[in-house]
Structure 1
Amino acid sequence: MVRTPYGAVSGRFERGAAVFRGIPYAAPPVGPLRFRPPVPPEPWDGVRDAGAFGPTAPKPPYSEAFAQYLSDPVVAGEGWLNLNVWTPEPGRGARLPVLVWLHGGALTRGSSAVPVYDGQPFARDGVVFVSVNYRLGVEGYGLFPDAPANPGLHDQLAALRWVHESIEAFGGDRGRVTLCGQSAGAISVGALIAAPQAQGLFRRAVLQSGPPEALDRDKVRRMVRRMATRLKIPATAEAFAAVDPAVLLRAQAETGRLSSPVLGGPAFGIVVDGDLVPRDPLEALVEGTVARDTDLLMGWTRDEYRLWLVPGGLLERVDRLGPVALAGAMARCHCGGEVVRGYRALRPDAGTAEIVGQLVTDHLLRIPLHRLADARPGSSYVYEFAWPSGRTGLGACHALELGFVFDTGEVPEARKLAGEGAPRELADAMHRAWVRFAVEGDPGWRAWGTTHPVQLFGDGEPHVVHGPRDAELALWAADAGAPEPAPESDPPSGRSTRGTELRSAVRRLRRSVGVRRH
């Protein structure tokens, strides 16, 4: 039993760790609190049972194509703003390092209840592990004229404040908190590193396959407006709050049908709001105006794009589209033909889908993370995960590294993505690196510098390679002076021929592949 600022909770001893699940860090965001920043939970009398995961935020299920690779449990209830704690030594005085986990899922799916995110291996190795649920989709990231922006990010900030106030009672040290996330969780981490309100709440940060970024506000507004049109209601928080949640989720799923990391399109995301996100997080971090003392561990998987394109046969369809797909990728990435030709020269045996996938991966992930590392040499550590899945076609895809980082490769949900035969020694090495970073701020290889050292986790012994992506990134630097196509929402007048052709290619590509956002 442990006392929090809002009441006592009782957990369970499991496999050598004390586990507390479903602890509320904020009040249920329903009724008048819907679409609003979180408020503290109501204190409770007695001892609250913390033996089971708390409710998960409303979310649409994965499509059948993605569900064969990814698991996303649903726990019913309205108290979505809850967290879980695994600790080897509950009670004040232990002062152990803490790792706080923000799950991915495109800010529309995912939860802390995914079995791959079991915190027991971290607790086993002396780290207090905290995993967080937060609002998703339109509830967490819709942009309305009558409600504040980014309530889901405010949820995460509230969870960090709870950790700051409460974690010492669970054996943690609030001065040694590492904030960690993957995909949308990493994007959230990046925004929180740069958020003035989050300063002092964590000391280190891990960004797995997600850069600091702020989405264009009009892109999020278009998502809300399209949902409003489908629902035949005004695009306001008041009108959305009156819609049955199940109906809202169906409209959200249909509206986001043609959105994906490869194709772009309207989506939910963190936006600059003049408050929690006063400016673009990447620019703030690169300029060094905030969080100069935050140690960073960041990286990507070799074949991120394969999780976006392999399910449902999209990889083959993009290959068949050939020039249309390449033109669409140029528009998506705001690059010219020289970049595409350079990628072709570097990968003479690659098909169209691989070229498109790597272009988009570099544009979305590797270039911004390189910029961030360049701005913080000596305190940034970069990795690439390159072990190929045993599942046909996935390669070293997006999210595959998670079972290795958590050392949970034996659970069925990890094998859905990795297949059989995942190397035990690779999980040992990756998990040990993440633990060491949380404990010491150093994962065990050279910090970023002029030679661009990158720790490669693949077949065989992990080792450092220097500048493995420098040739590709040099192509983007050479292309930086080329004119970019106008945004998709610009009026027809004044558009360049290049911009018009590329936008038309994006629309044809979306219609051709009919990709569903996972």
Structure 2
Amino acid sequence: MTADRMDPVIRTPYGAVRGRWERDAAVFRGIPYAAPPFGPRRFRPPVPPEPWDGVRDAGAFGPTAPKPPYSEAFAQYLSDPEIPGDDCLNLNVWTPDPSPDARLPVLVWLHGGALTRGSSAVPVYDGGTFARDGVVFVSLNYRLGVEGYGLFPDAPANPGLRDQLAALRWVHDAIAAFGGDPGRVTLGGQSAGAISAGALVAAPQAQGLVRRAVLQSGPPEGTDRDKVRRMVRRMAARLKTPATAEAFAAVDRELLLRVQADIGRRSSPVLGGPAFGVVVDGDLVPRDPLDALTGGAAPGVGLLTGWTRDEYRLWLVPGGLLERVDRLGTVALAGAMARCHCGSEVPRGYRTLHPGAGPAETVGQMVTDHLLRAPLHRLADGRDEPSYVYEFAWPSRRPGMGACHALELGFVFDSGDEPDARKLAGDGAPQDLSDAMHGAWVRFVTDGSPGWERWDDRHPVRVFGDGAPRTVHGPRDRELALWSAPEAPADAQPPELRSVIRRLRRTGALRRD
């Protein structure tokens, strides 16, 4: 509090909260949007928080959802604060003008972390830079891992996604008091946050809550239900308990996290394996989100989508997996073919287009295109509403990381000076690139156009790399065209390939999806 400015106090639907002034923004942290999801509410849809009397202090981040820590290999690149406590369904608001008359655009941020890690307290996600530029910024925590995305016969699916919907409804009802316009809400996310944002935009229950959406490095697709069931069944086998929500609710929380981390350690976008994800549930997610969005869902919602040039490097470089994939050579390419359900013509095409690429780069780009770029292309192609597409191509100063997954976040948030941003970017990240990336997001949130031409048959992609941003038409079209060939049936694959795939699965290097 300064001598001439008192701490801001705002009344929410459940009670008043007191924030803080920080760099000309009013900041409110740890506001509950739903009740603690434990006890009888564990594995159940969120319910409203208990109203409170008086003024609740909102000066510090609230508890984070239960999650295992990153492995040592990943922790050197990614930060993931842990704040204990049960009241983990909370959100934060940064606003430049906490008055109902301001009617400012709003950005609601969903963090990434494979739906198993991450939180709104990650320092890179400081919403002050958006507030500085006239945007009310909201970030939130939601249930993760088996608590948020386990699939059980005795509990509704997707409780973590239902948490996010509850937060969106809170924003719709409460954000005007913080200076935001509930009719100008952009929902944005990266990686798992982007997958979630796409599912919510497509959800009939979220209609009218979102005007625009940003999907960074995450396609709006549902996860195969059996993939999630296998994750739960393997945890149940390790715990020696039935694969039901009732049984899992009786397990010690820390033990549940340790078993989840151990079972999931071999899962990755490259290796496949069991994992948690948003599933079609016939209710909140009545159909695959990508099919819904290309079939007319969410009319009037504009999209900004993007990826990084070398997404795969965050999946392969930590722990030395990149070198192991290079050593495997043909075996790794065979594994990628099985992972992507394609025939040998696809890796052959990639090697023709990029003759100097080694096996790891070929495998990484194949998996990235199959899982991420191809569905985002399909999304932009299949909608009448304006879509804008970009690629982040600036290489990290950290050895071997390139323009990897999550590197762009420090530039989107203009938080490159944060030590946590430098963990991934290294020292010397260019400020002009932050200005360009952050400015594009602010323009899109504010008026619906990030500053370059909308997607059309020429496939314009804005490239943010070294030097000034530039628009390139169809930079990934040749690679993505390789996927249009009919899928090779398993019995049509050569015997030596089938043998390699069986060997990879026996050793655990490749899991059935």
Q: Structure 1-normalised TM-score?
A: 0.95
- Offset of 1:98 from its aligned partner? 0.1
User: In the alignment, which residue of structure 2 is the partner of 1:348?
Assistant: 355
- Is the contact made by 2:31 and 2:58 (CA closer than 8 Å) also made in structure 1? yes
Counterpart Cα distance in 2 of 1:401 and 1:310: 17
Over aligned residue pairs, what C-alpha RMSD do you find?
A: 1.5
1:398-409 matched pairs, under 5 angstroms: 398-409=405-416
The match for 1:381 is 388
1:483 is matched with 488
Deviations 1:298-328, CA, capped at 9 Å, x for gaps: 0100000000000011000000011111011
- CA shift, 1:497, in A, is 5.6
- The 5-angstrom pairing of residues 170-185 of structure 1 reads 170-185=178-193
Q: Distance in 1 between matches of 2:477 and 2:324?
A: 29
2:106 maps to what in 1?
98
Task: Identify the residue that residue 492 of structure 1 maps to in structure 2.
Answer: none
Query: Partner of 2:108: helix, strand, or coil?
Result: strand
1:215 correspondence with 2:220: no
C-alpha distance after superposition, 1:412-453 (max 9, x if no partner): 000000001100000000000000000000000000001100
Aligned mates of 1:257, 1:438 — CA distance in 2: 36
1:296 shift after superposition? 0.1
Tell me, yes or no, if structure 1 residue 310 matches structure 2 residue 317. Answer: yes
Match of 2:80 in 1: 72
Does structure 2 conserve the Cα–Cα contact (< 8 Å) formed by 1:99 and 1:180?
yes
Residues of 2 paired with 1:176 and 1:438: CA distance? 8
From 468, 476, 480, the equivalent of 1:461 is 468
| Aligned position for 2:3 | none
Deviations 1:234-272 (A, max 9, x none): 000000000000000011011112110001110000000
Q: 395-404 or 255-264: which moved more?
A: 255-264
CA contact (8 A) 1:6 1:41 kept: yes
Q: Which structure 2 residues correspond to residues 48-127 of structure 1 after superposition, within 5 A?
A: 48-127=56-135
Deviations 1:449-474 (CA, angstroms, capped at 9, x unpaired): 01100000000000100000000011
CA deviation map 1:346-372 (0-9, x unaligned):
110000000000000000100000000
Structure 2 equivalent of residue 472 of structure 1: 479
Q: Distance in 1 between matches of 2:494 and 2:408?
A: 37
1:397 aligns with 2:393: no
Gaps of 5+ in 1: 486-495
Q: Give the drift of 1:192.
A: 0.5
Distance 2:186 2:97 in 1: 18
Residue identity in the other structure for 1:128: V
Correspondence 1:240 to 2:248? yes
Partner of residue 293, structure 1: 300
- 1:139–1:465 distance in 2 versus 1, CA, 3 Å: same
Secondary structure at 2:137 match in 1: strand
Paired amino acid for 2:263:
T
What amino acid sits opposite 2:160 in the alignment?
G
Q: Which residue of 1 aligns with 2:39?
A: 31
Q: 1:276 aligns with which of 272, 276, 284?
A: 284
C-alpha displacement at 1:475, in angstroms? 1.0
Q: Does 1:360 align with 2:355?
A: no
Q: Does the CA-based 8 Å contact 1:324-1:508 persist in structure 2?
A: no
CA contact (8 A) 1:212 1:282 kept: yes
Q: Percent identity among equivalent residues?
A: 78
TM-superposed CA distance for 1:483, in Å, is 3.2
2:21 corresponds to which residue? 13
Aligned pairs (5 A) from 1:309-348: 309-348=316-355
Q: In the alignment, is the contact (CA less than 8 A) between 2:116 and 2:144 conserved in 1? A: yes
Aligned with 1:297: secondary structure? strand
1:366/1:484 Cα in 2 relative to 1: closer, same or farther (>3 Å)? farther
Q: Name the CA distance, whole Å, in 2 between partners of 1:43 and 1:505.
A: 59
CA distance in 2, matches of 1:315, 1:181: 27
Instruction: Extract structure 1 runs of 4+ deviating beyond 6 A.
Output: 510-516
Q: CA deviation at 1:498?
A: 2.6
SS state at 1:168 partner: helix
Does the CA-based 8 Å contact 1:215-1:270 persist in structure 2?
Answer: yes
- 2:199 is aligned with 1:194: no
Distance 2:371 2:215 in 1: 13
Asked whether the 8 Å contact 1:19–1:51 carries over to 2, the reply is yes
Q: Partner amino acid for 2:487? A: A
Judging changes above 3 Å, is the alpha-carbon distance between structure 1 residues 51 and 504 closer, same or farther for their aligned structure 2 residues? farther
Q: Distance in 1 between matches of 2:397 and 2:430?
A: 11
Instruction: Name the counterpart of 1:493.
Output: none
Deviation of the 1:376 alpha carbon: 2.1
Alpha-carbon contact 1:190-1:207 (below 8 Å) kept: yes
Instruction: Say if 1:331 and 1:499, in contact at 8 Å, map to a contact too.
Output: no
**Alignment partners' CA distance in 2, 1:169 and 1:504:** 63
Report if aligned partners of 1:329, 1:506 keep a CA contact under 8 Å in 2. Answer: no
SS of structure 1 residue aligned to 2:493: helix
Counterpart amino acid of 2:389?
V
Retained in 1: the 8 A contact 2:440–2:451?
Answer: yes
Match of 1:424 in 2: 431
- Deviation of 1:292 (Å): 2.0
Q: Is the 8 A contact 2:301 2:385 kept in 1?
A: no
Counterpart code for 1:61: P
Task: Spell out, residue by residue over 1:466-516, the C-alpha distance to the aligned partner (whole angstroms, 9 max, x if none).
Answer: 000000011111x2x23344xxxxxxxxxx263987676456447769699
> 2:274 is matched with which residue: 253, 266, 269?
266
CA distance in 2, matches of 1:484, 1:184: 30
Show the counterpart of 1:491. Answer: none
The residue identity in structure 2 corresponding to 1:442 is S
SS at match of 2:56: strand
Distance 1:311 1:512 in 2: 21
Shift of 1:287: 1.6
Consecutive unaligned residues of structure 2, counting only runs of 5 or more, are 1-8
